[in-house]
Amino acid sequence: MASKLLRAVVLGPPGSGKGTVCQRIAESFGLQHLSSGHFLREHIRAKSEVGVLAKQYLERGLLVPDHVITCVMMMELEKKQSQHWLLDGFPRTLVQAEALDRICELDLVISLNIPFETLKDRLSARWIHPASGRVYNMEFNPPHVHGIDDITGEPLIQQEDDKPEAVAARLRKYKDAAKPVIELYKSRGVLHSFSGTETNKIWPYVYTLVSSKIPPLHSKEAN
């Protein structure tokens, strides 16, 4: 185990394959994969104070505000102080990045740059299982039965903001909020950007980068 605990973040727009990359890093290097979406769903399910607040925004089709997400993530990070971790979906804004600064210093920020057309196609083909957050892509990761979650047998939904007409606005909104975050980490020399249209082709480069910071669990080539 590295003597210093690794603090890493994966940044990327919706549909960039961020969740997949985080999952692979977590499995290959033994990092805790901390997803803001996962923690939000947990708080909503537990009907905690921030969960109830977050649900009110989501039910109205609004983005959960910075202070609510930040509150959720700070609570979770406090529990993980003795572990290597990898953040997914946080920080998305400069305000969130500044809050994170107050509790830790990041060692590694991975930014996924995926062409707009690729993101648009991926998101338009994306369906989710609301309770678990499981994501399916009708082109390259479809469910066994059309419209049905593989594990629970419950129906899948297409989120309003994954519908083709909403995707462009959603991606623009992400880009505007993420730009200052990316600039901040770039200025600190911790940002590493990867471009491409296929997660499988980007992954070996990400694997090599993370290997330079922390040894993999099993000594094997990235696949």
Indicate the annotated binding residues for AMP. Answer: 36, 41, 62-64, 89-92, 96, 170
Helices 94-101 and 164-187 pack at an angle, to 10 degrees, of: 40
Binding-site residue ranges: 15-20, 36, 41, 62-64, 89-92, 96, 126, 135-136, 170, 199
Distance from C-alpha of 183 to C-alpha of 118, rounded to nearest angstrom: 23
Cis status, amide bond into 155, omega within 30 of 0: no
Cα distances (Å, whole numbers) of residue 92 to 9, 100, 148, 160, 179 = 11, 11, 31, 20, 9
Instruction: Answer whether 39's CB lies under 8 Å from 72's CB.
Output: yes
Binding-site residue ranges for a ribonucleoside 5'-triphosphate: 15-20, 126, 135-136, 199
DSSP 66-91: HHHHHHHHHHHHHHTTTS-EEEES--
